[in-house]
Amino acid sequence: MTEPTPDHPVGPEAHDNRRQVLYWRLLARMFDREEQATLESASLAVVEDIGLPTAVLDPQTSIDSVVQRHPELAAEFDRLMVPEPDAGDRDRAAEVRRAALVSKVLLNVFDCAGPGAGSGTGNVTAGQLARWQSDADWLERALGCEPGGLRGGRAPGRGVSATGTGVGAPAPDLSRLIPEIGPELNAIEADLVRRMRLREVLADPQLAAKLTPSMSLIEQLLRDKDNLSGVALANAKSLIRRFVDEVAEVLRTQVAKATAGELDRSVPPKRVFRNLDLNRTIWKNLINWDPEEERLYVDRLFYRHTARRTTPSRLIVVVDQSGSMVDSMVNCTILASIFAGLPKVDVHLIAYDTQALDLTPWVHDPFETLLRTNLGGGTDGTVAMALAQPKIAEPRNTVVVWISDFYEWECERLFESMAAIHRSGAKFIPVGSVTSSGRGSVNPWFRERFKDLGAPVLSGHIRKLVHELKTFLA
């Protein structure tokens, strides 16, 4: 690669060639285990010419390691892949640098020669899983998301190193941002978890401490919990508890914003100093202004109304706990517990596969609720309906949220029961997915009939369900 000089600066074509070299190497490494010597040497020359560390070409070196050695790169990785507004003339030199950093992020997460999904064989250590999760965090940050935002509803900032923020402009709409990438990341993580000797890792406190809770890991723990005991079971419960708390932190904020009711002006305001409406008090007492003394005499104080209208409501959440619905099961169990903590909201939780389980006694504790679930098996919604229908005492004051992919044994019978609930005056909300990625498959037979009924299937990010519930519970 020719060094630029004052007499021979790098021109637009040279910059374009450099960028193409980096992207051709990226494609070659993604789809071929054999290194292409020419592309490797050319890419090394490009990286050295533009002043980046050669570690950006090595997918075995984590992005955390690169950033720790070169802290100034943290800001460049953040929002690296977010489209920028058209500023007119292209900065081709910046495009080459961006291509090198983008290649680093993508190779570390998707490289088929590494411990990722492409290889599909061999054991994975807890350290390798933790490293991949960290690199996936950086990919999400490069896309303008919070770490974990595309893979699961973890608390903002989880896994962010001290050298980077992971924040910037307002978060993008995850339901529209590259819709396939969230599910693909989840699939890679699930494959890594599957290839890890999880029971052995859990039995070793030092190895277990390296695990970062994620939806894929929690699914595996919930499936295998009956085969764990002693130290392994204690470590598994600790990981589940951490994940539940992190997701709850995110959802609790969303629910708090959505369920603030209107001010109830029929309730007299509390006459305390923090409720004093100073502006209104001055305005109403201006008639008592004494211009000679330049003094305002206040004979009446005005206070702000703070009481909000709340309607006693019953929320019945029915969740399909078959293996394909694990993300929904975890999210909705936590969501139900949060709504159960609101005043005057009576929450009931039912989980089902071919049998139904009333989890209402534990609805306030999602951790205990999840430990009582039994993921897997088929689906028979009629057994859940038998538990749900008797709970509808006042239809006009009840909302039934039914979360499932609706691939059922007795479609006609179950749909008629759901239609009867809708016609009774209760609010019936069929939900196809409440995942973090917003991706889910719904039986088209049910989808069409719910649409004709006037209760279309709600699918997408869990925030959509929170928004739908707010009009009923506020």
pLDDT tens digits for 244-267?
888 777 767 766 655 545 555 666
Asked if 202 and 218 touch (Cβ cutoff 8 Å), the reply is no
Backbone angles phi, psi at 297, to 5 degrees: -95, 125
Q: What would the mean pLDDT of 292-300 be, rounded to a whole number?
A: 86
pLDDT band at 158 (very low <50, low <70, confident <90, very high): very low
Q: What is the pLDDT at residue 375?
A: 66
Question: What average pLDDT does the structure give for the chain?
Answer: 80
Asked if 160 and 135 touch (Cβ cutoff 8 Å), the reply is no
For residue 6, pLDDT over 60 is answered with no
Q: What is the pLDDT at residue 162?
A: 34
Asked if 301 and 281 touch (Cβ cutoff 8 Å), the reply is yes
Rounded Cα gap, residues 367 and 333, in angstroms: 9
How does pLDDT run across 265-279, given as a tens digit for each residue? 666 777 777 778 888
Closest by CA to 383, choosing from 347, 408, 420, is 408
Q: What is the pLDDT at residue 34?
A: 76
For residue 164, pLDDT over 70 is answered with no
Asked if 371 and 239 touch (Cβ cutoff 8 Å), the reply is no
pLDDT band at 235 (very low <50, low <70, confident <90, very high): very high
For residue 173, pLDDT over 60 is answered with no
For residue 470, pLDDT over 70 is answered with no
Q: What would the mean pLDDT of 200-220 be, rounded to a whole number?
A: 86
The residue that leads in pLDDT, 153 or 224, is 224
How does pLDDT run across 100-151, given as a tens digit for each residue? 999 999 999 987 544 444 455 678 888 888 899 899 999 989 988 888 777 7
Backbone angles phi, psi at 428, to 5 degrees: -110, 125
Query: Dihedral sign, CA of 101, 103, 108, 109?
Result: positive
Percent of the chain with pLDDT over 70: 78
In the chain, what are the domains?
12-160+173-250 (no CATH), 263-307 (no CATH), 313-473 (3.40.50.410)
pLDDT band at 346 (very low <50, low <70, confident <90, very high): confident
Rounded Cα gap, residues 463 and 335, in angstroms: 11
Q: Is 294 left (phi over 0), alpha (psi -120 to 50) or beta?
A: left
Rounded Cα gap, residues 72 and 296, in angstroms: 59
How does pLDDT run across 408-439, given as a tens digit for each residue? 888 999 999 999 999 999 999 998 866 555 45
Q: What is the pLDDT at residue 108?
A: 92
Rounded Cα gap, residues 37 and 96, in angstroms: 20
How does pLDDT run across 361-403, given as a tens digit for each residue? 998 888 888 888 876 667 889 999 999 999 999 998 899 999 8
Q: What is the pLDDT at residue 160?
A: 36
How does pLDDT run across 176-192, given as a tens digit for each residue? 555 568 778 888 888 88
For residue 50, pLDDT over 90 is answered with yes
For residue 1, pLDDT over 50 is answered with no
Q: Is 433 exposed, middle or buried (0-12, 13-18, 19+ CB in 10 A)?
A: buried
Q: What would the mean pLDDT of 447-454 be, rounded to a whole number?
A: 93
User: Which segment of 45-54, 91-100, 110-119, 358-367 scores lowest on mean pLDDT?
Assistant: 110-119
For residue 301, pLDDT over 80 is answered with yes
Q: What is the pLDDT at residue 334?
A: 81
Q: What is the pLDDT at residue 126?
A: 85
Q: What is the pLDDT at residue 374?
A: 75
For residue 456, pLDDT over 80 is answered with yes
For residue 98, pLDDT over 50 is answered with yes
Q: What is the pLDDT at residue 186?
A: 80
